[in-house]
Amino acid sequence: MNREYFYSFDKLAYVKGAKPKGCILCLIRDQDPNVIDLSIYRDDLFITVVNLYPYNPGHLMVFPVRHIEDIRQYTLQEEKMLSKLKRYLLDITDNLFEPIGYNIGYNMGQPAGASISHLHLHIIPRYPSELGISDLIAGKRVLVENPRETARKFREKIAQDAFSIMRS
């Protein structure tokens, strides 16, 4: 599937200068000036970004600060943090976008569809009025929200209701 289908009108703005070399998630982590920062949350272990090419509005990616490529490389501390962070992100996404469901998961390795080797968890909200796959193929898909606007909403929400590892 052509990812550019989903969101392309602002694509050029993603890379400000020459195309950056290296892992895009590591560049986001390192706040490389040539990469658009759609991050909404950062701590010592994880970074959460709004997907630049969202499948749906509110599509998030959560990735470890460490460049690892397999979920078995997570430390127990990372597992624990991620578990809490996932709950939190679902809560704020529920609050902001009111989806009726989610797809949550990893694509590990290129044959599985991972275009970025740096391990990342997709959190994709699902809505009752989504277009079907035939609409995608017919090119009818229209994204209803600019990812920058999505990131702004998440940041505002997180500023009001911050994540803490102590949350239940």
Residues at the contact surface with Zn ion, assessed by CB under 5 A: 23, 25-26, 67, 118
Q: Which is nearer to Zn ion, 25 or 85 (CB)?
A: 25
DSSP annotation of 19: P
Task: Classify 96 in phi/psi space as left (phi over 0), alpha (psi -120 to 50) or beta.
Answer: alpha
CA of residue 126 relative to chain centroid, distance: 14
Give the shortest CB-118-to-Zn ion separation in angstroms.
3
Taking the chain, what is the end-to-end CA distance rounded to the nearest angstrom? 38
Give the shortest CB-30-to-Zn ion separation in angstroms.
9
Q: Which is nearer to Zn ion, 67 or 122 (CB)?
A: 67
Q: Is 120 a catalytic residue?
A: yes
Catalytic residue among 59, 67, 120, 122: 120
Burial profile 70-89: b = 16 or more Cβ within 10 angstroms, e = fewer = eeeebeeebeebbeebbebb
Q: Which is nearer to Zn ion, 66 or 86 (CB)?
A: 66
- Catalytic residue IDs: 120
